[in-house]
Amino acid sequence: MLLASGVNFGFRRTIPQILGITIGFSTLLVAAGLGLGAVLRAVPPLELALKVVGGAYLLYLAWRIASARSMGPEAAGGTRPLTFLESAAFQWINPKAWVVALTVMAVHADPVAPMASAMLVAAVFALVNLPSISVWAAFGTAMRGFLADPARLKWFNIGMGLLLAASLWPMLRT
């Protein structure tokens, strides 16, 4: 998503999305470390609802990416990068983010000091996540010149949308 956003909107306009992902995932980690993950596992219909809503939203984003045909503010249909709040909230319905958060907290959380360990894990993830995901947006921005050709941009966006949709496959199998 960040690669496509970097291509279509540039790095500067993608910064709120980068920050939203980092903050949203960090808060998800803390919540999972404090027991929200156990609630999801204890209430299977809630876990299923999360998968359905998250999967549907991922498909919507995949369609949005695949149908983008121009870069920047002149993009058809008024497309824009995800905002800070949209990106942060998306982490909470992103099934892949939940899998990572639950796994990380199961391995690294300290049951004796859950708040301290959840905060520490979230801080470490934020420090690693922010520069890591920024690279995706920067790489997309670097590709803007090559993708200035409308035909290349069209096929790139279709490919990115299909890859995002395909990333749901592991979730559908569980």
Report the pLDDT averaged over residues 98-108: 87
For residue 113, the 8-state DSSP code is S
Q: Which domain holds residue 136?
A: 2-172
**pLDDT (tens digit per residue) in 108-135:** 888 888 899 999 999 999 999 999 999 9
Give helix 84-93 / helix 44-67 axis angle, nearest 10°: 140
Q: What are 70-97's pLDDT values in tens digits?
A: 776 555 445 788 999 999 999 998 888 8
* pLDDT beyond 90 at 64: no
Please report, as a single letter, which amino acid is at residue 146.
F
Residue 77's pLDDT is what?
47
Indicate the DSSP class of residue 42: H
**What integer pLDDT is reported at residue 78 of this predicted model?**
58
Rounded mean pLDDT of 122-149? Answer: 94
> How many structural domains comprise the chain?
1
Q: Which amino acid, one-letter code, is at 166? A: A
Tell me what pLDDT residue 26 has: 97
| pTM for the structure as a whole | 0.79
HSE of 68, CA atoms in CB hemisphere, 13 A: 32
pLDDT band at 65 (very low <50, low <70, confident <90, very high): confident
- The structure tokens listed for 160 are 């990115």
Rg (CA), the chain: 17
How many Cβ atoms sit within 10 Å of the Cβ of residue 150? 11
Q: What is the pLDDT of residues 160-172, one digit of tens each?
A: 899 989 988 877 6
| Token output for 14 | 């993608």
Question: How much of the chain exceeds pLDDT 90, in percent?
Answer: 44
The least confident of 24-28, 39-43, 60-64, 113-117 is 39-43
CA distances for 143 relative to 56, 66, 136, 140, angstroms:
29, 17, 11, 5
